[in-house]
Amino acid sequence: MASDINHVVIVGRLTRDAELRYANSGTAICRFSVANNYSRKQGDQWTEETNFFDCTMFGRRAEAVHKYLNKGTQVAVDGALRFSKWEQDGQTRSKVEIHVNEFQFVGGGSRDGANRSSSSDGGAGSAGRSAAPSGGPPQNDYGSGNEFEDDVPF
């Protein structure tokens, strides 16, 4: 018997700086929004459209990376969709957001040129550890990417 699957991967840019708050239990909650562009053909013309996704990250990873989640930063988010429903001013409201399981900085917008990533493994991922001693963003175990030559044979 097959089980249900709820999995989403989004690569895009942050629409605003991330917000960090704490639950009553002390758990860190980081909220941010990602814009994802795509092209589609309308008649004979291609049009550019944008989708916006609200994302929520919890725990130590949220604390570790929130200060690097600035507007315009390109990120890859891997998680599950969560549906919320509530009543406000007599009207029922709802939204769907991404609860982040995996997270990675991507693109060339980093200040130091290094790849940075966060994993949901609670400590083995770079954001699970504390930030770099220099006060810079968390580093992954793959190096800066400068060890390859620019002369690629294909």
Domain count within the chain: 1
Contact 127, 118 (CB under 8 A): yes
Say if 98 falls within a structural domain.
Answer: yes
Say if 149 falls within a structural domain.
Answer: no
| Mean pLDDT value of segment 121-139 | 40
Say if 99 falls within a structural domain.
Answer: yes
Q: Give the whole-angstrom CA distance, residue 67 versus residue 77.
A: 17
Digit-coded pLDDT (tens) for 69-79: 999 999 999 99
What CATH number did the domain enclosing 106 receive?
A: 2.40.50.140
| Mean pLDDT value of segment 3-31 | 95
Say if 154 falls within a structural domain.
Answer: no
Which among 56, 74, 58 has a CA at the least distance from the CA of 8?
56
Backbone angles phi, psi at 126, to 5 degrees: -65, -35
- Using CB atoms within 10 A of its CB, is residue 66 exposed (0-12), middle (13-18) or buried (19+)? buried
Say if 74 falls within a structural domain.
Answer: yes
Digit-coded pLDDT (tens) for 97-108: 999 999 999 976
Say if 138 falls within a structural domain.
Answer: no
- Where in the sequence is the domain holding 110, given as residue range(s)? 8-37+47-128
Say if 151 falls within a structural domain.
Answer: no
